[in-house]
Amino acid sequence: MWRFLSKPQSVESVMRDKGLAKLGDNLVNLCYSLAKSQVLGEATGEKVKDRVLARAIRATPVYKKLGRRTDAGMAADAYEAIIAYLWLTEKTNIEDMVTLVVDNLEITSETSRKKESEIASHAFQVLLESLIHLLPKKD
Amino acid sequence: MWRFLSKPQSVESVMRDKGLAKLGDNLVNLCYSLAKSQVLGEATGEKVKDRVLARAIRATPVYKKLGRRTDAGMAADAYEAIIAYLWLTEKTNIEDMVTLVVDNLEITSETSRKKESEIASHAFQVLLESLIHLLPKKD
C-alpha cells in the first residue's frame, strides 16, 4: 500500500531513515496520547519528548546497531523510525501498541512530569522489546 | 475499547471536546503525513496548521453547529475532535482517510507552502464532507 516505503530494508537503514522518523514521531505521539487517555479515563494529547524515547531505545539491544555515540535526538529518531516501519509493514497495529503502553503506564493525574517521563520511558522500552523480533533479519 | 470516550454524544459536544481535539491533532497530523508521503513517494512528517483545518470545516454545513463566531484555533479544534471521534468509534479508519486525502492532494515537491495549504484545506474539506453523515444524529 505505501509506495514511499523502500524494501527490503536492513534494521540499520530503518533506524537512520529521517523520513520514517518524522512519520514515527506522529505515530508515537498518537499512541502515547491514546494510552494516557485510556489510563487517565479522559481524552488528552501529548508530544513525547526525545529524551523519553532515547532512554527507551538505549535500554534495548537494538540500540547498538546505531553503531556510534548519538545524541537524544538521533536516538529518538531511531525509535520513531522503527515504530513507523513496523506499523507501515503491518507487523503491529495501533491497538496492540496502545494496549502494551497502557499496561506499563502506571500514572495518575497527580504524577509529576518528571516521574511520568521515567514511567513512559520504561513503557516504551517494553514496547520496543516486544517488537524487536519483528525487525528485518537482514543486515 | 476506549474508556475515556463518553457516549452517546451530540455533534455539538464532540465539536467542543478539548480532549478529543488534542487526540485529533495527533491523528490529523499522522493522516496528513501519510498522505503527503504517499503523494510525494517519500516518507515525511507534517503538522497541519490550524488555518488549514479551519478553512476546511468552515466550508462544510457542520460548521454552523459551533453556533457562534470562532477563531481559527477553535474551528480547527472542532475539525480535529470530529475526526478523533469518528475514528475512535470505528466509523472510519486511517487507511480510508489517507486514501481520500491522497486523492485530493495534487502537490509535488515544487508546490509552494501557500499553495499546499490551499490544496490541503480542500482535501480536508472533502474528507469531512465524506464523513459528516457518520456523526451522531442526536442533537
Q: For residue A9, what pLDDT is reported?
A: 82
Position A1 scores a pLDDT of 83
In a domain, A115, yes or no: yes
Q: Is A10 left (phi over 0), alpha (psi -120 to 50) or beta?
A: beta
Instruction: Provide the domain limits for residue A102.
Output: 11-133
Tell me what the pLDDT averaged over chain B comes to. 94
Asked whether the CA dihedral B60, B66, B68, B73 is positive or negative, the reply is negative
How many CA atoms are closer than 13 Å to the CA of A81, on its beta-carbon side?
A: 26
Which ranges of A2-71 would DSSP assign to H, the alpha helix?
11-15, 18-40, 50-58
Q: Is position B92 within any domain? A: yes
Residue B37 lies in a domain: yes
Q: Please judge whether B23 and A44 are an interchain contact, meaning their C-beta atoms are less than 8 angstroms apart.
A: yes
> Assign residue B60 a region: left if phi > 0, alpha if psi is -120 to 50, beta otherwise?
beta
The span from the CA of A107 to the CA of B22, in Å, is 19
pLDDT at B96 over 90: yes
Contacts of A4 in chain B (CB under 8 A): 37-38, 40-43
Tell me the per-residue pLDDT of A82-99, one tens digit each, with 9 for 90 and over: 999 999 999 999 999 999
- Provide ipTM, 2 decimals: 0.94
Which triple of cell numbers denotes residue B90? 470505528
**Mutation target among A9, A20, A30, A87 for the B interface, most CBs of B within 10 A:** A30
Q: A126 in a domain, yes or no?
A: yes
pLDDT in tens, A25-82: 999 999 999 999 999 999 999 999 999 999 999 999 999 998 777 899 999 999 999 9
Assigned domain for A5 exists? no
Q: Is the pLDDT of residue B139 over 60?
A: no
Q: Cβ contacts (< 8 Å) between B2 and chain A: which residues?
A: 34, 37-38
- Whether omega for the bond prior to residue A8 falls within 30 degrees of 0, making it cis, is yes
Chain B residue with CA closest to A31: the answer is B26
Count structural domains, chain A. 1
Decide which of B69 and A79 is more confident: A79
Instruction: State the pLDDT confidence band at A138, using cuts at 50, 70 and 90.
Output: low
Considering the domain boundaries, does residue B137 fall inside one?
no
Q: CA of B1, closest CA in chain A: separation in Å?
A: 9
Q: What is the reported pLDDT for B136?
A: 87
pLDDT tens string B3-57:
999 876 899 999 999 999 999 999 999 999 999 999 999 999 999 999 999 999 9
User: What pLDDT was estimated at residue B138?
Assistant: 61
Question: A92: which chain B residues are within 8 Å (Cβ-Cβ)?
Answer: none
Q: Are the beta carbons of B43 and A95 separated by less than 8 Å?
A: no
- Check which CATH number belongs to the domain holding B116 and give it: 1.10.1520.20
| Residue A102 reports pLDDT greater than 60 | yes
- Contacts A95 to B, Cβ<8 Å: 1
Nearest CA in chain B to A99: B1
